Amino acid sequence: MTRLKRERLPSRKVFTAVAGAIAEWLFAIVPLIVLSIVLSHLQHGGDVLESAEWSFGASVLAGQGVVRFVSGLVKGQDLSVDRVLLGVSAALVFVVVPANIVLALVLMNKEADPTKHLSSLMVTAQVSLFVVASLLFIVAASFGHLWARRSED
């Protein structure tokens, strides 16, 4: 059985991949920055964490992370069905589905009584999902970039 020697990635390539992912992520948080500025201007700054934008953003970032992950594997021609299924399944089960459930609950709560504040559990859940989705996106997008680049080298 021949074992292939794994190349250690140069830190410059890793830095470039992570920087690219963070650059994309920054555009994903623009609506949250705008929301924060507007609500603060209206003296409702405390309502920022109750906005459905957090759950929506978590769902979109996790979905984009899955796309970048799979795209990198396919471009890199290093397609391992098990690896793809694990990555996609984990993202769906732990981030995308919960983020969409929380999004639906937040929207239902606001529709039922717009003056009622969200429970601290819902606020914590949606902000936590956004943080997890952000990390997932940055890691998945970076790996996807690195795998795709390996096929070009």
Spatial separation of the C-alpha atoms in residues 120 and 11, rounded to whole Å: 41
Whole-model pTM: value is 0.85
Mean pLDDT of the chain: 88
From the list 17, 51, 25, 48, the residue with the least C-alpha distance to 133 is 25
Structure tokens given for 146: 């690195």
46-87 confidence digits (pLDDT tens): 899 999 999 999 999 999 999 988 888 778 766 677 877 888
Query: How far, in whole angstroms, is CA 107 from its chain's centroid?
Result: 20
117-136 confidence digits (pLDDT tens): 999 999 999 999 999 999 99
Say what the pLDDT of residue 6 is: 59
2 band by pLDDT with thresholds 50, 70 and 90? very low
Spatial separation of the C-alpha atoms in residues 43 and 57, rounded to whole Å: 23
18-28 confidence digits (pLDDT tens): 999 999 999 99
Mean per-residue pLDDT, 90-100? 93
Q: How far is CA 49 from CA 16, 26, 76, 138, in A?
A: 32, 18, 39, 22
